[in-house]
Amino acid sequence: MDIESQPALIKKYFQQVAALTAEQQAPFLDALPVDIRDEVQQLVDQSACSRAYFQSVSESIFGAEEVIKADPFDLCGSSIGDYRVTEVIASGGMGVVYRGLDMQLQRPVALKLLISTDGHNAVGRQQLLREARAVSRLSHPNIGITYGITSSERQQDVMVMEYYRGETIQQKLDNNSIEPAKIHAWVLQLLSGLKHAHQHGLIHRDIKPSNLMVTEDGSIRILDFGLAINGNDGAVRQGEGTTAYMSPEQIRLQPITHATDLWSAGVVLLELAVSVGWLDRVNAYTWAQNPAISSNRGPQWLQQLLNQLLILDAELRVATPAAISKPSASVLLALFANIRPWYSAAVAAVVISISALALEPVETPIPSHKVVSLYVEAKPTKAEQAFIFELNQWLKFVDGNSPKLSYLGIESNQQPLEGENVRLTLSVQHLEAGFTAKLTATNDQQQPYRRWLRHTASVHPNLVLQDLRSELALFLEIPLEQAVALTPSASFASLEAFKLMTQVNGELAAIQQQLITDLDQLTHLESILIKANEMESNAAIDTGLATIYRLRYEHDGAIENLQMAQFFITSGFTKDRKLLPAYIEMTRILLLKGEVATAITTLSLALDLYPNHCDLHFALAETYLAIEDITALDKALQVYQKVAPFDWRVYNLLGKAAIARDDHNEALKQFKHALEIRPNQPFIRNQIAQIPSV
């Protein structure tokens, strides 16, 4: 065997065996070559020993244990300086924690010692000293208190800490004693303690249930700062932390910030929510990419906190504490109702101060029924056009599925639309590394309700849109499963293809609103989609190409363009039979081919998938108008008007139906109604101009 390759093989086999259960490890090790097996076995034994120590210390450092622990130093009953050692709390291969009594102040303490302070444990000694120094800089009711460092007669370093009676969150999880009503308060206290640590430059790096103590008075204490680092040095230490609670950047060994603790806090919250049945059992990374994966929803505050903590992008996550809504005075009083009296007066003063501030609202009251428009600047960027197209499609879909929402559509007029009480304004920067999107919700006086800022890199192409949809779903009171799980648009694996497709979608939507088709622009968009198709074969790209060829056919009547449109839309359907724009495009192509029955069947299939999507109801009504089936048109419009009463296209079609019946007065009435909703829509003005004088 090549000598140089042996260390690499040892590392490889150790990583494999470490992922196995104890029962699986023995046969795996037996199958290894003898010279490799002994080395790997030693690593396994050593890692098991160290894991046992840190687990026992972190889970039991301040908690009472019924099981008697070994006393490796034979210190019980003796003294260390001014402290009488009374019992062992936890012990392991590298250290031991005793309960003690401060004989001068007559208070219980916890005493943490290392098994050895010689050379082979120098790293552990430095960790103990680092932890003591780190925590000594902090003074917060949700952070465990360290009194100082002393030495035993054997010159062993001893960290002296406050002793807390209670259970860790991990112990509560293990014995199924989590009380759902207390979870919100626990998490807010955890975030408050983390904010204090972060303000003092510390990153904990090991936030997990076993490091969070619930004391007898019900408050949270963050414990074990042994892995804490200075947040200003961007240090990375391989293998430090607990994998299940590590942030994405921590696992990838990238420079970390305070945001890594926020991710870990989110994982703890997710675990608590699962334990009480609020959410289905799900991995944090999976939830971060698709919150609707859980069929259970839990309280609204839970969704909001998880959306802010479990963000894959650390740059967005780091701003979370400022974004989390401040609790009201009543919530604060409830949080601190059982906290020790030595700072209750200070808490009361803070609550009074916050109550006074609450008299001056920081947010505009949100209407119970939201009549929403999506505002577009006069000259939107291509990225903005793309994102507006996607959000427009999604809002049309959820409009018919939410009793608390009516969607007016896209508008570019500075004046609010008729009935509008929520205006969404989107600003998007299209960057090399992805997108940065800012979305603002205001009322008709442009007073803000909410603001969101999102950024995505190459990690997940649809992250920004998905994240914005989830946030909007909470704001608009739309069930999250509708926000994500049933979004009628395509998913992309390639970020570059996604960028190109969203750009084309935005421009195609604008072209179809124009009275004259720009053939040169269509050729340009076709070249973009061909480039995107080289990166990824996707149904949305095929649908875009079909639209381009259909628009060409409508302009010049060349049959080869219609044939190419049919080819691409058929190709799209073979890749994704749930893509809503493909159904609508297929219907338009079939109507141009004269295949009316097939077009109506296609729309019926789409309505089975998305029963309340206004675009489908519009397409169905438009189809009946095209074949002059006025009876079917009237029935379709009745359903359409019920689904989307604020959609200007309903009244535009009602006007066209009135013209088909030679009822020009009714037509004028309906067109004017459509124009009230969409004042700058050229199609409506053009139709009014063509009505004979009545």
Among candidates 4, 13, 19, which has minimal Cα distance to 39?
13
Q: What is the model's pLDDT at position 569?
A: 92
Same domain flag for 91 and 49 = no
pLDDT, tens only, 27-39 = 767 777 777 777 7
Q: What is the 3-state secondary structure (H, E, C) of 617-647?
A: HHHHHHHHHHCCCHHHHHHHHHHHHHHCCCC
Same domain flag for 69 and 52 = no
- Which one is predicted more confidently, 453 or 205? 205
48 is written with which tokens? 């098991």
End-of-domain residue from the set 162, 191, 217: 162
Into how many domains does the chain fold? 5
pLDDT, tens only, 147-200 = 777 877 777 778 888 888 888 899 899 999 999 989 998 999 999 899 888 888
**Nearest-angstrom CA–CA distance, 638 and 643:** 9
pLDDT at 689 over 90: no
- List Cβ neighbours of 185 (8 Å cut-off, separation of 6 or more): 218, 334, 335
Q: Tokens 């998905």 belong to which residue? A: 466
- List Cβ neighbours of 343 (8 Å cut-off, separation of 6 or more): 141
> What is the full DSSP assignment across 13-64?
HHHHHHTS-HHHHHHHHHTS-HHHHHHHHHHHHHHHHHHHHHHHHHHHTTS-
pLDDT at 104 over 60: yes
**Banded pLDDT at 358 (limits 50, 70, 90):** very low
2-6, 12-16, 431-435, 544-548: lowest mean pLDDT where?
2-6
Q: Is residue 457 part of a domain?
A: yes
> pTM for this one?
0.44
pLDDT, tens only, 230-250 = 776 554 554 467 778 888 888
Q: What is the model's pLDDT at position 338?
A: 36
Q: What is the model's pLDDT at position 248?
A: 83
Same domain flag for 193 and 157 = no
Query: What's the CATH number where 438 sits?
Result: 3.40.50
Count CB atoms within 10 A of the CB of residue 155.
Answer: 7
**Nearest-angstrom CA–CA distance, 59 and 170:** 7
pLDDT at 364 over 70: no
Inter-axis angle of helices 596-609 and 614-626, nearest 10: 160
Q: Is residue 347 part of a domain?
A: no
Query: What's the CATH number where 662 sits?
Result: 1.25.40.10
Mapping DSSP to helix (H, G, I), strand (E, B) and coil, where does residue 263 land?
A: helix
Q: Is residue 477 part of a domain?
A: no
pLDDT at 546 over 90: yes
pLDDT, tens only, 385-403 = 767 777 887 787 777 667 7
Same domain flag for 529 and 670 = yes
Average pLDDT over residues 645-669: 88
Q: What is the model's pLDDT at position 95?
A: 64
Same domain flag for 399 and 508 = no
Query: What's the CATH number where 98 sits?
Result: 3.30.200.20
Q: Is residue 365 part of a domain?
A: no
Q: Is residue 260 part of a domain?
A: yes
Same domain flag for 94 and 141 = yes
Specify whether 30 is catalytic.
no
Q: What's the mean per-residue pLDDT of the chain?
A: 75
**Nearest-angstrom CA–CA distance, 585 and 615:** 11
Write out the H or E segment, with its range, that includes residue 79: strand 79-80
DSSP letter assigned to residue 291: G
Q: Which of 206, 313, 467, 615 is catalytic?
A: 206
Q: Is residue 114 part of a domain?
A: yes
225-229, 297-301, 616-620: range with highest mean pLDDT = 616-620
Among candidates 589, 586, 626, 625, which has minimal Cα distance to 603?
586
Write out the H or E segment, with its range, that includes residue 456: strand 448-456
- List Cβ neighbours of 142 (8 Å cut-off, separation of 6 or more): 189, 190, 192, 193, 196, 219, 220, 221, 222
Q: What is the model's pLDDT at position 497?
A: 81
Q: Is residue 400 part of a domain?
A: yes
Q: Tokens 């998007």 belong to which residue? A: 428
618 is written with which tokens? 């519009």
Q: Is residue 627 part of a domain?
A: yes
Q: Tokens 């996604």 belong to which residue? A: 498
Same domain flag for 75 and 25 = no
Among candidates 2, 44, 43, which has minimal Cα distance to 20?
44
pLDDT at 77 over 80: yes
Same domain flag for 183 and 130 = no
383 touches 429 (CB < 8 A) = yes
End-of-domain residue from the set 115, 139, 162: 162
Same domain flag for 526 and 590 = yes
48-62, 192-206, 326-340: range with highest mean pLDDT = 192-206
Phi/psi for 539 (5° steps) reads -60, -35
> What is the full DSSP assignment across 506-526?
HHHHHHTTSSS--HHHHHHHH
Phi/psi for 281 (5° steps) reads -65, 120
Burial bucket for residue 362 (CB in 10 Å: 0-12, 13-18, 19+):
exposed
Q: What is the model's pLDDT at position 462?
A: 56
Same domain flag for 316 and 446 = no
101-105, 357-361, 466-470: lowest mean pLDDT where?
357-361
Same domain flag for 25 and 40 = yes
168 touches 211 (CB < 8 A) = yes
347 touches 376 (CB < 8 A) = no
> What is the full DSSP assignment across 107-168?
EEEEEEEES--SGGGHHHHHHHHHHHHHHHT---TTB--EEEEEE-TT--EEEEEE---EEE
Average pLDDT over residues 77-87: 87
Query: What's the CATH number where 218 sits?
Result: 1.10.510.10
Q: What is the model's pLDDT at position 214?
A: 92
DSSP letter assigned to residue 67: S
- Share above pLDDT 70 across residues of the chain, in percent, rounded to a whole number: 71
**Dihedral angle computed from the Cα positions of residues 325, 328, 333 and 336, in that order, rounded to the nearest 10 degrees:** 10
pLDDT, tens only, 413-459 = 655 666 788 888 887 776 555 567 778 888 877 777 877 766 554 44
55-64, 519-528, 601-610: range with highest mean pLDDT = 519-528
3-state helix, strand, coil in the chain (%, to 5): 55, 15, 35
End-of-domain residue from the set 105, 128, 162: 162
pLDDT at 324 over 70: no
**Banded pLDDT at 270 (limits 50, 70, 90):** very high
Q: What is the model's pLDDT at position 490?
A: 64
Same domain flag for 517 and 534 = yes
- Which residues constitute the domain of residue 601? 495-690
